[in-house]
């Protein structure tokens, strides 16, 4: 069973294959958990094949990048490293400075993927110009966007250089399926993968609602897995025979990291998918993009 997602070839770069589940770092570096536990969790994930690590200059004001940098000491080449730039730092010069600051905190000379964290007031042309310069200087390999809805993706597609976008990172989980109405189909037509943040509904009250949902608990019990594993397997499920969604859950406890890795090989039958659709139906109209 293929458990990977492929980022297409871009100018000067071959296609790259990644595990469909990676590691998120939102809320790391904030003192919520011991720093050494966060570092160990990321290293454990690498050991288990969760080689994509996603972070951002926003997370803990750079603190999460420092945790990632510590985790990658001596093993940077084992990770596919993603970070994100604030929209107000995404200018022609400011994006260069922001990226260099991220690289310093991460203790590396390059990012595998650099994302615009969400759309802002700086013109896309200017941001893309900065990204292309960072590529030319070897500081980033690929670039992409985050929190972009259909209209913003269409604008990007018609902007010079926008066709080199490697991924769009958006909120996506069983309880938030809005992107399935128009954004996901549009990206699939263009072979553009989606990176799902909060795949376990980490944001707010909804997590409790999902994790306590009787049908989700019944299905997880039938399969002998946790609700979290069920949610991850659903998020990365193949559609029309191929996977194009990467999930990036955050985990600190060793058992959670292990469970996330095991979810990579969890196959959901048509019957299970139908039960999940019945409990949490796909949208029948366009809804605003969920952002947390």
Catalytic residues: 59
Q: Are 172 and 194 in contact (CB under 8 A)?
A: yes
Q: Are 156 and 267 in contact (CB under 8 A)?
A: no
69, 42 Cβ separation under 8 angstroms: no
Q: Where are the alpha helices (DSSP H) in 81-205?
A: 94-106, 124-136, 150-157, 183-189
CA terminus-to-terminus distance, the chain: 33
User: How many CB atoms neighbour CB 25 within 10 A?
Assistant: 26
Q: Show binding-site residues.
A: 117
Binding residues for substrate: 117
57, with CB counted inside 10 A (0-12, 13-18, 19+), is buried
């Amino acid at each position: 069973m293929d458990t990977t997602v492929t980022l297409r070839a871009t100018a000067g770069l071959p296609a790259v294959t990644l595990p469909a589940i990676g590691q998120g770092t939102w809320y790391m570096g904030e003192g919520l958990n011991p720093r050494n536990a966060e570092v160990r969790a990321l290293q454990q994930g690498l050991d288990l094949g969760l080689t994509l690590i996603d972070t951002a200059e926003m997370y803990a004001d750079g603190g999460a990048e420092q945790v990632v940098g510590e985790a990658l000491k001596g093993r940077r080449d084992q990770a596919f490293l993603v970070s994100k730039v604030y929209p107000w730092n995404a200018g022609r010069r400011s994006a260069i400075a922001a990226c260099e600051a991220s690289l310093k905190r991460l203790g590396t000379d390059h990012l595998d993927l650099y994302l615009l964290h969400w759309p802002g007031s700086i013109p896309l042309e200017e941001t893309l110009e900065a990204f292309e310069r960072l590529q030319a200087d070897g500081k980033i390999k690929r670039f992409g966007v985050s929190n972009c809805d259909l209209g913003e993706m269409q604008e990007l597609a018609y902007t010079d250089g926008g066709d080199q976008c490697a991924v769009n990172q958006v909120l996506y989980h069983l309880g938030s399926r809005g992107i399935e109405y128009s954004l996901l189909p549009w990206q699939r037509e263009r072979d553009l993968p989606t990176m799902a943040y909060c795949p376990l509904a980490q944001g707010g009250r909804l997590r409790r609602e999902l994790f306590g949902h009787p049908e989700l608990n019944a299905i997880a019990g039938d399969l002998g897995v946790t609700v979290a594993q069920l949610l991850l397997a659903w998020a990365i499920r193949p559609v029309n025979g191929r996977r194009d969604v990467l999930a990036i859950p955050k985990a600190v406890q060793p058992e959670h990291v292990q469970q996330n890795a095991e979810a990579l090989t969890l196959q959901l039958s048509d019957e299970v998918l139908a039960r999940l659709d019945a409990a949490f139906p796909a949208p029948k109209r366009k809804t605003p993009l969920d952002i947390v």
